[in-house]
Chain A
Amino acid sequence: MLKTSMLPHRSTSFVAKASLLAGAGLLALAIGCGRDQVSHFRVPKEAVADHPDHPGHEDHAGPAQGMPPAGGDMPAPPRPTGQGSLKWSLPKGWSEVPGEGMRFATFKSPVPGKNEATVVVLPGVAGGELANVNRWRGQIGLGPIDEAALAAARVVVKTKAGALNVYDFTSEGQTKSRMVTGLISTPDGNTWFLKLTGDAAPVAKAKPDFMRILESLRLD
């Protein structure tokens, strides 16, 4: 490949080049170390996505104090047992899987396609109904709604455990998602969330049975 007649008298230039490489390495390390500090930014408040069908989204200036996280099935109190715990009856073909992590329970429906029902229990008012509904809407790409729209969207189902507020939302886009959720407060101060989510078509098929589950709610 190369002629090998040259001798190490060029080592000065070699050393210079090697030092240059080492210098570049140290510079990169120095930059890396600089990342280990508290940094400060002044940024405009984040706005929630404006959707053509929801132009007047609410102001999110205030801190979302105590609001459950956007991840979905989050923070939970000690799992209620005995008094104050909700019970339900499952329709034919449905099965229940004990909850993992933050989930209280998961229901498997016999309807093929993407659909799943979950039960989550949170302490207190869990950030409030509006905040939770807007969080769920966000999960299927819908913009937030206000108190008036919330009241309009609410369907109250009477159960033995008390009144249950039910919401049903369907997203836009090529593959539509749908979410049917029920919220109910129990006398021990917890809020229970029963949610059926998935692709619009299987959720529509599973909804009548899911509504039967909601209607069957009772206190233990």
Chain B
Amino acid sequence: MIKTLVSRTWKFFKSFQLTIVLLACLMALVVLCTLAQVNMGTQGAVNAYMRSLFVWWRTPALPFPLPVFPGGGLVGLLLTLNLIAKTLDIQRSWAKAGMWLVHSGLVVLFAGEFVAGMMQVDTNMSIEVGQTVNYVQSYKNMELAVIDTTDPAWDEVYSVPDTLLAKGGSIAIPGTPLTLNVKAYYPNAELSNLPTGAPPSMATAGVGPGVSVVERPTVTNDNEMNQASAFVEPMASGRSYGTWLASIALGAPQSFTHEGHTYSLSMRLRRQYLPYAFTLKQFRHDVYPGTDIPKNFSSLVQVVNPSQKESREVLIYMNQPLRYEGKTFYQASFGKNDTLSVLSVVENPGWLLPYVSCVLVSLGLLVHFAIVLRRSLKRRQDKKEG
């Protein structure tokens, strides 16, 4: 009974029909995901169609979403299992060495996409000419930065991620006497002047009391940004410092002082500080003579890494990224009349896997071709002799 079940499962996973169905699903997903990008933005569509187990459909008639189509995650997983089953099914003989290599290469390619999907981190670095920057920041994820600005040379930055704010409750800030009571968190909100006669704001300190906050649905479109906002009450040694409104829409930090330490609060895009820093020495935006058509964008940066005792100039330009300490820095955008350069930063621990896959597949095809050629030549020779 169990043997039959295992045998059937095995047969199912190695069936060629499964491959065809899954490839068809993948094609449909690519089309759907491409169309969905119009409304959902690139990242929103990729998350909904490609990096999920199911494509969900929400309808007001039902309180829960319905799975309507297998997502890229499920199709990819089944395709990988199908491919592994097929690979294991190949004869273990030298005559099939090429096929083994080709199939292993494909498994590595699939694994690479899973690693990218789960572990790739996309951030960016914006630097103005002359400025030195030692962090990259997220495109969408937020953080509430509680910064002890007391020291004249250093800032002690405590980052509270938006995911933690969303849980609410009390958040102790380790290394400080502070505890933050999250009174409300809105992943997206619209801020405006508090109209006369409107109910008072939840905030009692800073600029918050004069600002009205209305929650809005979150956006995923590339051109829009969620205006994450939160009402937080810092507490220290049993004392409340009032309720503050922190929002990405409020650019500058607000601050309070506790026992000689000044703490500033600001909602901002999540930062990842680096053990090295980039200084933008020059940004070039060349156009073809007599036109506004861009010819080249390039950033000349000074990379300073004290731990490696390294200080060198690097030119980053289109299609010529800098790979450094596990991150790849691409020239992505610019602004402020060509005095600001934006580098897109990608960290993918599996970036080498597609290259390994290509090598394995190419090698596999060569080996297979050589084996078949040898067999064919031998057959021809045998015929002649016979």
Q: A interface vs B, CB < 8 Å?
A: 1-8, 10-11, 13-14, 17-18, 21, 24-25, 28-29, 31-32, 35-52, 61-72, 74-79, 81, 100-102, 123, 127, 135, 139-141, 143, 171-177
Contacts and interface: CB of A to CB of B under 8 A. Distances in A.
Interface string B65-98: 0000000000000001100111011110000000
A173 B337 contact: yes
A102 B194 CA distance: 10
- Is the contact region of chain A dominated by helix, strand, or loop, or is it mixed? loop
A10 B118 contact: no
Contacts of B181: none
B252 A42 contact: no
A53 B291 CA distance: 29
Interface in B226-285: 249-255, 262, 264, 273, 285
Nearest to B91: A3
A38 B91 contact: no
Given A141-B128, A141-B337, A38 B171 contact: yes
- The size bracket of the interface on B is 35 or more
A13 B154 contact: no
Contact of A63 (B10, B128, B191, B255): B255
Interface in B138-168: 149, 152-161, 163-164
A1 B16 contact: yes
A76 B213 CA distance: 12
Interface stretch (B22-30, B40-48, B129-137, B295-303): B129-137
Contacts of A143: 130
B130 A49 contact: yes
Nearest to B211: A75
Contacts of A35: 161, 163
Contacts of A171: 336-337, 339
Contact of A4 (B89, B159, B211): B89
B199 interface: no
B59 interface: no
A2 B86 contact: yes
A63 B175 CA distance: 20
B156 A67 contact: no
Contacts of B254: 65-66
B195 interface: yes
B147 to A, nearest CB: 8
Given A28-B119, A40-B175, A51-B129, A68 B336 contact: no
B338 A123 contact: no
A75 B132 contact: no
Given A11-B10, A51-B130, A2 B337 contact: no
A61 B115 CA distance: 41
Contacts of B368: none
A172 B129 CA distance: 12
Nearest to A199: B337
13 contacts: A2-B89, A8-B7, A24-B115, A35-B161, A35-B163, A36-B161, A38-B161, A44-B134, A45-B149, A65-B264, A66-B206, A101-B190, A127-B252
- Report, nearest first, the 5 A-B pairs whose CB atoms are least far apart: A69-B251, A173-B337, A141-B336, A70-B251, A75-B207
Which of A8, A29, A51, A75 is the most central at the interface, judged by chain B CB atoms within 10 Å of its CB? A75
A131 B269 CA distance: 23
Contacts of B90: 2-3, 6
B33 interface: no
A47 B134 CA distance: 11
Given A69-B252, A102-B193, A40 B157 contact: yes
A79 B193 contact: yes
A42 B250 contact: no
B136 to A, nearest CB: 13
Nearest to A51: B130
Nearest to A175: B337
Contacts of B160: 38
B194 A173 contact: no
Contact of B128 (A24, A29, A36, A49): A49
Contacts of B264: 63-65
A173 B154 contact: no
Interface string B332-356: 0000111110000000000000000
A167 B383 CA distance: 96
Interface string B110-130: 010011001100000000111
B132 A63 contact: no
B196 interface: yes
Interface in B186-200: 190-196
Contacts of B194: 77-78
A141 B339 contact: yes
B89 A75 contact: no
A43 B90 CA distance: 56
Contacts of A74: 249-251
A17 B130 contact: no
A14 B338 CA distance: 55
Contacts of B173: 38
B182 interface: no
Contacts of A139: 336
A24 B210 contact: no
A211 to B, nearest CB: 24
